[in-house]
Each structure stands twice: as C-alpha cells, then as structure tokens.
Amino acid sequence: QKEVEQDPGPLSVPEGAIVSLNCTYSNSAFQYFMWYRQYSRKGPELLMYTYSSGNKEDGRFTAQVDKSSKYISLFIRDSQPSDSATYLCAIPLPGGYQKVTFGTGTKLQVIP
C-alpha cells in the first residue's frame, strides 16, 4: 500500500467554482501534511501545511485533515484561471523533513 494516495483527476471547473482536492494516507503516525502546487514546466512550490487534525485557512485556500479517516483535503474557493496547475499532497517521512512522500498529483484546469 502506498503511503499516500491522491485522486488523479484531471479536474476541469469554471472560474469561481469551489474545488476540492483529496488524498488518503496509510500511516496513522503521520503528523504533518503539506500541499504543493506545480505549474507546467516548473518545480513544485509549497502552498500550505497543516499539523494534526483540523482546518487551516490561507486566503482562498483551506487545508483540512481528518486523522480518524486518514483523509486530507485542499479546498479552493472562488477558483481563478491562475489556479490551473497540478496540486500534490505531501507528507514528511521519519528521517527528516527533507524526505517527503508525495501523492501523484491532481491536475486542475480553471476555465474562464
């Protein structure tokens, strides 16, 4: 079983829609959860991180963790064409935070 599984998409939504991106993970010991955004022909960039359970909000983005079901989500409100990218969930593994396991990514397209 992979450490983290991500809904593969792709997703295509109209501008202004609410987007929900989801991942599940296998190890209940995981504590930190991250979301990266990767534009075409670019490397990933850290978008948000959360610790343990609950929600974290940053502008139009909300990251949510449900440790009881080992489920993590990223919500994007009022989606914009500039949000079109691949979104990757990521979890640091034991051994240091440089060693990170990523989901396969969900490609999002926001249509004007």
Partner 1 sequence: KAGVTQTPRYLIKTRGQQVTLSCSPISGHRSVSWYQQTPGQGLQFLFEYFSETQRNKGNFPGRFSGRQFSNSRSEMNVSTLELGDSALYLCASSSKKIMTVTDTQYFGPGTRLTVL
Q: Are 42 and 52 in contact (CB under 8 A)?
A: no
Nearer to partner 1, 76 or 88 (CB): 88
Provide the minimum distance between the beta carbon of 92 and partner 1 in the complex, in angstroms, as a whole number.
Answer: 6
Residue 17's CB is within 10 A of a number of other CB atoms, namely 15
Which residue lies nearer to partner 1 by CB, 5 or 60? 5
Question: Do 103 and 2 meet the contact criterion of CB atoms below 8 Å apart?
Answer: no
- Please report, as a single letter, which amino acid is at residue 62: T
Across the chain, which distance is largest between two alpha carbons, in Å? 43
Interface positions, 79-98, toward partner 1 (CB under 8 A): 88, 90, 92-93, 95-98
Residue 6 in contact with partner 1, rule: CB under 8 A: yes
Q: What single letter denotes the amino acid at residue 104? A: T
Give the β-pairing of 106-111 and 11-14: parallel
Binding track, positions 20-49, relative to partner 1; x by CB under 8 A: ------------x-x------xxxxxx--x
Establish if 71 lies at the interface with partner 1 (CB under 8 A).
no
Sites of contact with partner 1 (CB under 8 A): 6, 32, 34, 41-46, 49, 51, 88, 90, 92-93, 95-105
